[in-house]
């Protein structure tokens, strides 16, 4: 049986004491334990930021890469080993700002990965500059008269672009967040979980301000209803809905044909292909030859053996 301590490591945590990011860390560890995922079966991927430090604090596979680039790296990891549970942990600056383009194209590709976006409404690591979700009028260090441009609502973009699992959690409600993460990680295809994460150091409002505004969607809420989902997702001014905002039947995941027709084995387990065979394969492609799935015994060049 997997225990939460299996994920424990001795890396010193670099967050401010009392940061709500601790709530997200605990919720994620508990969700993975609840799902019975062993640490070696998971890979966390992040970019740069306070949120992006989270993978350091779990004992499992992780890749901490460039700012905004977690998604393409996660996609590569997932393609190379579809048996790993691949989870991106990112901030809204990392994911919607620097990495916004990757987010949009991940929606189109629908890889079977989970994306957890800590949304604290600014760039916390670099001391609170405005991010794509900073509210209009909010004063930030480089916006002394208040932010003038409208925020992005990427969960709504995800709903519009057929992401089949879109949820919002609150870092101050770990039990609820855990239950959302369990569903998200178990859902086939891309799952987006945005987490409202107050920053107690650079934030404009205390945690209580958020607590007064968030509420949990009731059992009568129908997450398959796209119109209702858009309405709940877009409303973030006075009352902020948390829970599974949108969930529909899974659609074709990224690389499905490759997995069915070529291989679903991790690349690391495949027999290395000799360089001359690769050269022959590329030469064949240049000549217009496209290998057939069952070509493995033919004398024509092929890559997977
Ligand atoms: C290419 C690049 N540009 C800018 C930075 C500076 N930088 C580091 S973290 C960060 C913002 C992180 O914000 P967010 O993703 O919201 O995470 P948070 O710290 O708020 O959790 C920025 C702009 C960087 N490290 N690399
Ligand atoms: S600066 Fe804000 S987000 Fe970063 S660790 Fe401190 S409280 Fe958390
Ligand atoms: Mg942020």
Bridge partners, residue 216, by sequence = 242
Per-residue pLDDT of the chain (305 residues; tens, 9 = 90+): 999 999 999 999 999 999 999 999 999 999 999 999 999 999 999 999 999 999 999 999 999 999 999 999 999 999 999 999 999 999 999 999 999 999 999 999 999 999 999 999 999 999 999 999 999 999 999 999 999 999 999 999 999 999 999 999 999 999 999 999 999 999 999 999 999 999 999 999 999 999 999 999 999 999 999 999 999 999 998 999 999 999 999 999 999 998 998 899 999 999 888 889 888 888 888 877 665 555 554 444 445 54
Q: Closest by alpha carbon to 89, among 117, 121, 123?
A: 117
Confirm or reject: Cβ of 171 under 6 Å from ligand 2.
no
Confirm or reject: Cβ of 94 under 6 Å from ligand 1.
yes
Q: How far is the CA of 38 from the centre of ligand 2 (A)?
A: 29
Q: How far is the CA of 120 from the centre of ligand 3 (A)?
A: 5
Ligand 2 pocket mutation pick from 13, 93, 94, 200 by most atoms within 8 angstroms of CB = 200
| pLDDT score of 291 | 57
Q: How far is the CA of 128 from the centre of ligand 3 (A)?
A: 8
How would you class 144 by CB atoms within 10 Å of its CB: exposed for 0-12, middle for 13-18, buried for 19 or more?
A: exposed
| pLDDT score of 198 | 98
End-to-end CA distance of the chain: 36
Q: How far is the CA of 22 from the centre of ligand 2 (A)?
A: 10
Q: Which CATH superfamily, name and number, covers 4-247?
A: Thiamin diphosphate (ThDP)-binding fold, Pyr/PP domains (3.40.50.970)
| pLDDT score of 272 | 85
233 vs 192: CA distance, rounded Å: 12
Q: Closest by alpha carbon to 85, among 142, 28, 131, 140?
A: 28
| pLDDT score of 292 | 57
Q: Closest by alpha carbon to 22, among 53, 45, 61?
A: 53
| pLDDT score of 305 | 43
- Which residues have CB less than 5 Å away from ligand 3 (the ion)? 91-93, 120
* Distances from the Cα of 105 to the Cα of 99, 158, 163, angstroms: 10, 11, 11
How would you class 34 by CB atoms within 10 Å of its CB: exposed for 0-12, middle for 13-18, buried for 19 or more?
A: middle
Quick check: 176 and 242 in contact, CB under 8 A? yes
DSSP E strands: which ranges in the chain?
A: 42-46, 61-64, 85-91, 114-119, 122-123, 129-130, 165-170, 191-196, 214-216, 240-247
Counting ligands in written order, the one closest to the CA of 95 is 1
| pLDDT score of 285 | 82
Give 230-245 pLDDT, tens digit per residue.
999 999 989 999 999 9
Q: How far is the CA of 223 from the centre of ligand 3 (A)?
A: 27
Confirm or reject: Cβ of 24 under 6 Å from ligand 1.
no
Q: What is the pTM of this model?
A: 0.92
Alpha carbon 19 to its chain's center: 20
Counting ligands in written order, the one closest to the CA of 100 is 1
């Amino acid at each position: 049986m997997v225990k939460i301590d299996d994920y424990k490591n001795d890396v010193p945590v670099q967050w401010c004491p009392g940061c709500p990011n601790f709530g997200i860390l605990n919720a994620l560890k508990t969700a993975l334990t609840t799902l019975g995922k062993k640490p070696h079966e998971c890979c966390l991927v992040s970019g740069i930021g306070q949120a992006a430090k989270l993978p350091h604090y779990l004992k499992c596979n992780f890749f901490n890469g460039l700012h905004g680039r977690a998604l393409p790296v996660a996609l590569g990891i997932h393609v190379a080993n579809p048996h790993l549970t691949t989870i991106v942990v990112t901030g809204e600056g990392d994911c919607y700002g620097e990495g916004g383009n990757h987010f949009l194209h991940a929606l189109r590709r629908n890889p079977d990965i989970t994306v957890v976006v800590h949304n604290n409404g600014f760039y916390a690591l670099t001391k609170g500059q405005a991010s794509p979700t900073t509210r209009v009028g909010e004063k930030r260090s480089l916006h002394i008269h208040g932010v003038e441009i409208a925020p992005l609502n990427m969960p709504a973009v995800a709903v519009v672009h057929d992401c089949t699992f879109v949820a919002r959690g609150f870092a101050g409600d770990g039990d609820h967040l855990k239950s959302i993460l369990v569903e998200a990680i178990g859902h086939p295809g891309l799952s987006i979980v945005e987490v409202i994460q107050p920053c107690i150091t650079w934030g404009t409002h205390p945690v209580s301000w958020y607590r007064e505004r968030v509420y949990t969607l009731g059992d009568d809420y129908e997450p398959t209803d796209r119109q209702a989902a858009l309405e709940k997702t877009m409303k973030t001014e006075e009352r902020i809905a948390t829970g599974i905002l949108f969930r529909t039947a899974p659609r074709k995941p990224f690389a499905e044909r490759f997995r069915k027709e070529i291989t679903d084995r991790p690349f690391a387990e495949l027999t290395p292909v000799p360089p001359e065979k690769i050269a022959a394969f590329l030469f064949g492609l240049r000549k217009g030859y496209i290998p057939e799935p069952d070509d493995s015994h033919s004398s024509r060049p092929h890559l997977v053996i």
